[in-house]
């Protein structure tokens, strides 16, 4: 860890220079430092961020971090930017939301040199995974929506393919899926055996869409969930035997609550989670400094000691080690590990950014003909 | 024989090896260029399809349904307008296709014209980009061949090398586009070269390899069709696969006839050729408002056709018929583009239809994909005249031995039946229509392509009809010939007379009569554009020493001696033999 400490020290120095202040000591001596407000997702995810990112940032810069909860939608951001007074400095949002928000002009463009180079000097553009840099956002980690199942539900067999989610003859029992078209449509069409490379091209046809919706409509005993914390609960309580959900939440349930569940990695849908800065943010300078700090190799690797999200830097992915509290090998639990990612789907966010409303309409019309309140 | 056996010394020993290796390196370089061109072409088509609202993805991502409908009609029509204008700059007023490549190689003419090649590629790009129901592999093959021919010309290589570099370009294009190097190699041999020589094989293989490497590294696309561990077919199902082959040959025939038929009808339309593609494009767009499956290459349709239950039987019939009609319309009315991709779609739909029928009758649902693939090869193999290539494409793209053997059952019947009923391939039928018959092999094609004008001699003795026999009888004999040709004052050919007949007249005491009174030897005459093949045919009926060559007004141009024709025949045969059986 000595090496880590030294790296951190250097980082702090860089940050201090970037902020134009005389370093951590100087900042600390100032009487009032306005806190930086980060909008994040709560739960185990936020706890991990607090330990790996927020506390070290405050320690390094003296800037306290305040966390606000994010509901996933753009309406609050839209309203706040229209008022020219958003209460947040940094947003933790999915890339598809970031792209949509950027198109609407709700986000500050990020400077090209926002990310620090890797510890060995590799430039950031080479060290980050493909398409990590957006005009207004920077991918910091990759998370996956996966299917988890109760390990005691199917004696003598276990699901191995995403098609098993829809095979209620071999894998009987209730299911829980998120009440959104995304991910569900992908899995439904994958279950017909289409190659994942062609998924969005085929979902773009009337035929593909109706095949997928038919498959979803054919599921019996289906529960729809909306809050990310719901699927582990439903599985633990035995209300469903298979549920979709975020891999980090399932990991948390397995490790911290000994839940008898396992993850089906086949067909996992990967998404980029990004940092962004809202337009008219109160402290844009500090926000940029925070993003630079939080996306440094050291911090990304540290985050994977608390929550199994794939780092967006190759240099950080190589440093993934064990879980901080249990000593579990985290490499097996991050979505981007080669074993888990073999048949992963990368969510086509450009596609969703342009089709969200229409796809949502089709989804509602096919599965919820009676109400029109489904959010996406 | 001695000439061929002695051979060119540079073809043997160390120098021969160096020459041969040089050819392999050249093949690899041309393969790389053709592969890059193919990758660029494919990417440009995809980009245009997204931009012009042709691809389902582009259409889905476009939010305004009214404008989408307008674009569906306007884009293919506008594409047709552009294509029509492009074709005006090509001497033949039509895009060049793999048929032109085959003709160039089979007649050993080589030397594909670069300007027509570039314009044809552009025409294919615009046609495909604007959503015409045409294929992309035809333009890719022609582009690769043109690049290969240009390479040979640049290095001032001979015709034989020109043919090999053309084949290299072709094999790289197929290897890249399908990401199937073996299929590329076999396609170049089966369709373009039509013979197997080690000398050609190595450069062609090198080109395919380079294409494959480029495809796997640059073109990160999904396989054309993807099959996950299919169930094994039951033994009786092979009978069904055979039957699919038989019926598939008829579907292939209908497809080829439809393309040629629309082409003939189009010529009778009161619309000038440059405007026809626009008309076809607009018609296609209007129909696509109801059935968007017929737009473009139809890769999504092909994919769904391999999935059991994605189409109902009636739907399959409708989409199949419309896709066939749309392709015939687009190609017949003059869009640029290939015949292979639409044939893949039509064949797969046909196979899916068979699979659906079998499933309804027997409940064998788990082998559905076999029927789709069998239908696909049963229709495509006869159209492009390449049963082995079709099989290899299935094998290389699916990696499934079971699927390949099933496809083999279908090809076994499809290709010979279609060849008997319609012709070896659509290309061969088109070439026969242009006067090049490839059904008797390359030996005949070369002789059919060789023009008599090159063999013509002016040494033949001519006589005026009014010349007295006494005077006439001296002239041929003096020049060492046994016959003479009677040509009148206006230069028109009248007859051939032999020295023997003139002698007989003199013996009979009619030495003062004019030559025109001499009995004529019935002798065919040929035009300067007649082929060596035609001359060979006439030689069987001729007992003289030469055949007179006249133009269409009967003006005497010269003669071709029998010996010259025989020499030419031997020379062409020797060249072919060296090319086809040589090793280096």
Cβ-defined contact of B299 to A194 (cutoff 8 Å):
no
Mutual angle of helices B114-129 and B13-51, in 10-degree steps? 30
Residue A211 contacts B where some CB pair is shorter than 8 Å: yes
Query: Measuring CA to CA, how many Å separate B468 from each of A148, A260, B117, B266, B465?
Result: 111, 120, 59, 59, 8
CA atoms within 13 Å, Cβ hemisphere of B248: 41
Q: Which pair of tokens denotes residue B173?
A: 């294009």
- In a domain, residue B145? The reply is yes
Judgement on whether residues B188 and B248 belong to the same structural domain of the protein: no
- Inter-chain Cβ pairs, chain A and chain B, closer than 8 A: 69
- In a domain, residue B445? The reply is no
Judgement on whether residues B389 and B332 belong to the same structural domain of the protein: yes
Query: Which strand (E) or helix (H) includes residue A40?
Result: strand A36-40
- In a domain, residue B443? The reply is no
Q: What is the pLDDT of residue A25?
A: 42
Nearest partner of A312 among A128, A118, A68, judged by Cα: A128
- In a domain, residue B444? The reply is no
- Give the Cα separation of B166 and B175 in Å (integer): 14
pLDDT in tens, B101-133: 999 998 888 889 999 999 999 999 999 999 999
Cα B86–Cα B90–Cα B93 angle in degrees, nearest 5: 85
Q: Which pair of tokens denotes residue B291?
A: 């059935």
* Domain at B256, CATH number: 1.10.3080.10
The low-confidence residues of chain B, meaning pLDDT below 50, are 1-7, 9-10, 584
What are chain A's domains? 2-142+272-332 (3.40.190.10), 143-270+337-367 (3.40.190.10)
Q: Check residue A322 and report its DSSP letter.
A: B
- Strand A90-94, strand A261-276: pairing: antiparallel
Neighbouring CB atoms inside 10 A of B313's CB total: 13
Residues 300-359 (B) with a CB less than 8 A from some CB of A: 300, 303-304, 307, 309-311
Q: What is the pLDDT of residue B240?
A: 94
Judgement on whether residues B213 and B257 belong to the same structural domain of the protein: no
- In a domain, residue B536? The reply is yes
Task: Identify all chain A residues contacting B61, using CB atoms and an 8 Å cutoff.
Answer: 204, 350-351, 354-355
Residues 16-75 (A) with a CB less than 8 A from some CB of B: none
Full DSSP string of B389-418: HHHHHHHHHH--HHHHHHHHHHHHHHHHHH
Residue with tokens 């888990």: A340
Nearest partner of A280 among A122, A83, A119, judged by Cα: A83
Residue with tokens 């099959």: B227
- Give the Cα separation of B120 and B338 in Å (integer): 11
Q: How confident is the model at residue A17 (pLDDT cuts 50, 70, 90)?
A: very low
- In a domain, residue B18? The reply is yes
Full DSSP string of A204-240: TSHHHHHHHHHHHHT-SSEEEE-STTHHHHHHHTTS-
- The minimum CA-CA distance between A213 and chain B, rounded to whole Å, is 12
Judgement on whether residues B93 and B152 belong to the same structural domain of the protein: yes
pLDDT in tens, A345-376: 999 988 888 888 889 999 999 999 876 554 44
Average pLDDT, chain A: 86
- Give the Cα separation of A343 and A266 in Å (integer): 6
- CA A34 vs. chain centroid, Å, equals 28
Chain B residue with CA closest to A203: the answer is B57
Cβ-defined contact of A204 to B223 (cutoff 8 Å):
no
Q: How confident is the model at residue A23 (pLDDT cuts 50, 70, 90)?
A: very low
Task: Identify all chain A residues contacting B53, using CB atoms and an 8 Å cutoff.
Answer: none
Q: Which pair of tokens denotes residue A62?
A: 């003296």
Q: What is the pLDDT of residue B216?
A: 82
Chain B residue with CA closest to A202: the answer is B300
Residue B223 contacts A where some CB pair is shorter than 8 Å: yes
Query: Which strand (E) or helix (H) includes residue B357?
Result: helix B340-362
Q: Which pair of tokens denotes residue A309?
A: 């999200």
Q: Which pair of tokens denotes residue B354?
A: 């068979």
Q: What is the pLDDT of residue A193?
A: 85
Judgement on whether residues B207 and B301 belong to the same structural domain of the protein: no
Task: Identify all chain A residues contacting B310, using CB atoms and an 8 Å cutoff.
Answer: 192, 207, 211
What's the number of domains chain B is made of? 3
Cβ-defined contact of A205 to B304 (cutoff 8 Å):
yes
Among residues B382, B409, B435, the one where a domain terminates is B435
Residue A256 and residue A137 in contact, taking contact as beta carbons nearer than 8 Å: no
Instruction: Please tell me whether residue A26 adopts helix, strand or coil conformation.
Output: helix
Residues 245-284 (B) with a CB less than 8 A from some CB of A: none
- Give the Cα separation of B171 and B387 in Å (integer): 16
Query: Measuring CA to CA, how many Å separate B545 from each of A271, B465, B484, B526?
Result: 84, 20, 10, 14
Q: Check residue B394 and report its DSSP letter.
A: H
Q: What is the pLDDT of residue B164?
A: 93
Chain B residue with CA closest to A201: the answer is B57
When pLDDT is averaged across residues A257-264 and rounded to a whole number, the result is 93
Judgement on whether residues B150 and B9 belong to the same structural domain of the protein: yes
- In a domain, residue B288? The reply is yes
Q: What is the pLDDT of residue B520?
A: 73
Task: Identify all chain B residues contacting A181, using CB atoms and an 8 Å cutoff.
Answer: none
Chain A residue with CA closest to B300: the answer is A202
Cβ-defined contact of B60 to A197 (cutoff 8 Å):
no
Query: Which strand (E) or helix (H) includes residue B461?
Result: strand B461-463
Residue B327 and residue B346 in contact, taking contact as beta carbons nearer than 8 Å: yes
Four-point Cα dihedral A234, A239, A244, A248, nearest 10: 30
When pLDDT is averaged across residues A224-232 and rounded to a whole number, the result is 90
- Give the Cα separation of A39 and B310 in Å (integer): 44
When pLDDT is averaged across residues A146-150 and rounded to a whole number, the result is 96
Q: What is the pLDDT of residue B488?
A: 87
Mutual angle of helices B13-51 and B198-218, in 10-degree steps? 40
Judgement on whether residues B56 and B144 belong to the same structural domain of the protein: yes
Query: Which strand (E) or helix (H) includes residue B244?
Result: helix B237-268
Q: Is B110 exposed, middle or buried (0-12, 13-18, 19+ CB in 10 A)?
A: buried
Judgement on whether residues B374 and B459 belong to the same structural domain of the protein: no
For residue A204, give the nearest of B57, B307, B309 by CB distance: B57
- The minimum CA-CA distance between A328 and chain B, rounded to whole Å, is 34
Judgement on whether residues B146 and B212 belong to the same structural domain of the protein: yes
Query: Measuring CA to CA, how many Å separate A106 from each of A70, A132, A355, B396, B566?
Result: 15, 19, 19, 49, 84
- In a domain, residue B381? The reply is yes
Q: What is the pLDDT of residue A9?
A: 44
- Give the Cα separation of B544 and A347 in Å (integer): 81
Cβ-defined contact of A207 to B310 (cutoff 8 Å):
yes
Nearest partner of A139 among A272, A288, A304, A46, judged by Cα: A272
Q: Check residue B93 and report its DSSP letter.
A: S
Q: Check residue B454 and report its DSSP letter.
A: G
Task: Identify all chain B residues contacting A196, using CB atoms and an 8 Å cutoff.
Answer: 222
Among residues B404, B435, B466, the one where a domain terminates is B435
* Domain at B457, CATH number: 3.10.580.10
pLDDT in tens, B395-432: 988 888 889 999 999 999 999 999 999 999 999 999 99
- What is the biggest distance separating any 2 CA atoms in chain B, rounded to whole angstroms? 101
Instruction: Please tell me whether residue B566 adopts helix, strand or coil conformation.
Output: helix
- The minimum CA-CA distance between B55 and chain A, rounded to whole Å, is 8
Four-point Cα dihedral B421, B423, B426, B427, nearest 10: 180
What pTM was computed for the model?
0.81
Residue A103 contacts B where some CB pair is shorter than 8 Å: no
Query: Which strand (E) or helix (H) includes residue A269?
Result: strand A261-276
Q: What is the pLDDT of residue B3?
A: 41
Q: Looking at mean pLDDT, say which of A108-112, A322-326, B539-543 comes out highest.
A: A108-112
- Whole domain around residue B309: which residue ranges? 237-435
Tell me the percentage of chain A whose pLDDT exceeds 70: 89
Cβ-defined contact of A200 to B57 (cutoff 8 Å):
yes
Judgement on whether residues B104 and B143 belong to the same structural domain of the protein: yes
Nearest partner of B320 among B251, B383, B262, B368, judged by Cα: B251
Judgement on whether residues B184 and B300 belong to the same structural domain of the protein: no
Judgement on whether residues B214 and B256 belong to the same structural domain of the protein: no
- The minimum CA-CA distance between A203 and chain B, rounded to whole Å, is 8
Q: What is the pLDDT of residue B539?
A: 80
Distance, first Cα to last Cα, chain A: 43
Q: In terms of pLDDT, which residue wins out, B22 or A337?
A: B22
Among residues B435, B468, B483, the one where a domain terminates is B435
Average pLDDT, chain B: 88
- The minimum CA-CA distance between B213 and chain A, rounded to whole Å, is 20
Distance, first Cα to last Cα, chain B: 19
- Strand B556-561, strand B546-550: pairing: antiparallel
């Amino acid at each position: 860890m000595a090496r880590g400490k030294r790296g951190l020290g250097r980082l702090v120095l860089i940050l201090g220079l970037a902020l134009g202040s005389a370093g951590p000591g100087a900042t600390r001596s100032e009487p009032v430092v306005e806190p930086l407000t980060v909008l994040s997702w709560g739960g185990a995810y936020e706890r991990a961020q607090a330990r790996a990112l927020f506390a070290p940032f405050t320690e390094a810069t003296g800037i306290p971090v305040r966390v606000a909860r994010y509901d996933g939608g753009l309406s609050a951001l839209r309203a706040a930017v229209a008022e020219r007074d958003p209460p947040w400095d940094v947003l933790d949002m999915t890339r598809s939301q970031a792209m949509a928000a950027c198109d609407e002009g709700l986000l500050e463009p990020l400077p090209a040199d926002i990310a620090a180079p890797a510890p060995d000097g590799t430039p950031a553009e080479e060290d980050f995974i493909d398409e990590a840099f957006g005009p207004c956002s920077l991918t910091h980690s990759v998370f996956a929506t996966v299917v988890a199942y109760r390990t005691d539900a199917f004696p003598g067999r276990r699901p191995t393919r995403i098609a098993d989610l829809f095979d209620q003859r071999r894998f009987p029992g209730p299911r829980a899926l998120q009440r959104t078209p995304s991910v569900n449509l992908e899995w439904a069409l994958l279950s017909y055996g289409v190659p994942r490379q062609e998924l969005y091209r085929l979902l773009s046809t009337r035929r593909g869409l109706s095949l997928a919706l038919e498959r979803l409509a054919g599921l019996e005993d289906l529960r729809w969930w909306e809050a990310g914390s719901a699927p582990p609960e439903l599985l633990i309580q035995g209300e469903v035997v298979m549920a979709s959900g975020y891999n980090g939440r399932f990991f948390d349930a397995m490790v911290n609550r000994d839940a008898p569940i396992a993850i089906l990695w086949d067909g996992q849908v990967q998404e980029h989670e990004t940092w962004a800065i809202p337009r008219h943010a109160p402290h844009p300078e500090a926000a940029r400094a925070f993003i630079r700090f939080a996306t440094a190799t050291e911090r990304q690797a540290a985050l994977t000691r608390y929550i199994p999200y794939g780092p967006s830097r190759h240099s950080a992915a190589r440093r993934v080690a064990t879980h901080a509290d249990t000593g579990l090998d985290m490499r097996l639990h991050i979505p981007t590990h080669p074993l888990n990612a073999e048949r992963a789907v990368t969510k086509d966010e450009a596609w969703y950014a342009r089709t969200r409303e229409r796809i949502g309409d089709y989804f509602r019309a096919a599965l919820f003909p009676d109400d029109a309140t489904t959010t996406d | 024989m001695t000439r061929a056996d002695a051979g060119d010394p540079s073809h043997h020993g160390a120098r021969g090896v160096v020459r041969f290796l040089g050819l392999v390196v050249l093949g690899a370089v041309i393969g790389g260029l053709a592969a890059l061109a193919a990758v660029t072409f494919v990417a440009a088509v995809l980009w245009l399809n997204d931009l012009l609202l042709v691809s389902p993805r582009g259409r889905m991502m476009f939010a305004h349904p009214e404008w989408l409908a307008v674009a569906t009609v306007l884009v293919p029509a506008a594409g047709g307008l552009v294509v029509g204008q492009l074709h005006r700059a090509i001497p033949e007023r039509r895009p060049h296709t793999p048929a032109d490549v085959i003709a160039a190689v089979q007649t050993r003419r080589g030397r594909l014209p670069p300007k027509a090649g570039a314009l044809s590629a552009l025409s294919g790009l615009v046609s495909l980009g604007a959503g015409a129901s045409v294929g992309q592999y035809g333009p890719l093959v022609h582009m690769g061949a043109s690049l290969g021919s240009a390479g040979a010309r640049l290095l001032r290589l001979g015709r034989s090398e020109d043919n090999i570099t053309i084949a290299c370009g072709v094999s790289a294009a197929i290897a890249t586009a399908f990401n199937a190097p073996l299929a590329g190699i076999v396609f170049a041999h089966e369709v373009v070269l039509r013979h197997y020589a080690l000398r050609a094989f190595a450069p062609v293989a090198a080109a395919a390899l380079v294409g494959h490497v480029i495809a796997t590294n640059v073109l990160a696309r999904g396989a054309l069709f993807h099959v996950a561990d299919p169930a094994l077919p039951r033994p009786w199902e092979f009978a069904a696969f055979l039957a699919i082959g038989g019926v598939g040959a008829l579907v292939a025939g209908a497809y080829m006839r439809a393309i040629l038929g629309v082409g003939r009808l189009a010529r009778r339309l009161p619309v000038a050729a440059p405007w026809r593609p626009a008309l076809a494009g607009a018609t296609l767009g209007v129909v696509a408002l109801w059935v968007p499956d017929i737009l473009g290459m139809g890769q999504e349709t092909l994919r769904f056709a391999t999935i059991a239950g994605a189409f109902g039987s009636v739907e399959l019939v409708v989409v199949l018929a419309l896709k066939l009609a749309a392709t015939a319309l687009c190609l017949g009315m003059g869009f640029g583009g290939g015949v292979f991709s639409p044939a893949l779609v039509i064949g797969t739909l046909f196979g899916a239809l068979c699979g659906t029928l079998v499933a309804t009758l027997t409940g064998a649902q788990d082998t559905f994909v076999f029927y789709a693939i069998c239908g696909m090869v049963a229709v495509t193999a006869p159209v492009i005249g390449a049963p082995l290539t079709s099989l290899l494409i299935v094998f290389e793209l699916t990696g499934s031995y079971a699927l390949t053997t099933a496809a083999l059952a279908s090809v076994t019947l499809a290709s010979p039946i279609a060849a008997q009923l319609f012709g070896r391939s659509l290309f061969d039928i088109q070439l026969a229509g242009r006067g090049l018959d490839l059904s008797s092999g390359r030996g005949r094609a070369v002789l059919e392509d060789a023009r008599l004008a090159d063999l013509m001699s002016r040494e033949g003795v001519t006589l005026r009809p009014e010349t007295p026999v006494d005077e006439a009888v001296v002239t041929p004999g003096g020049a060492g010939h046994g016959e003479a040709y009677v040509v009148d004052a206006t230069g028109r050919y009248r007859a051939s007379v032999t020295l023997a007949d003139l002698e007989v007249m003199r013996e009979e005491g009619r030495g003062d009569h004019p030559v025109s009174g001499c009995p004529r030897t019935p002798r065919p005459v040929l035009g300067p554009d007649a082929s060596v093949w035609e001359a060979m045919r006439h030689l069987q009926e001729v007992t003289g020493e030469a055949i007179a060559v006249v133009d269409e007004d009967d003006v005497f141009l010269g003669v071709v001696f029998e010996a010259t024709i025989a020499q030419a025949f031997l020379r062409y045969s020797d060249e072919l033999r060296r090319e086809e059986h040589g090793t280096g």
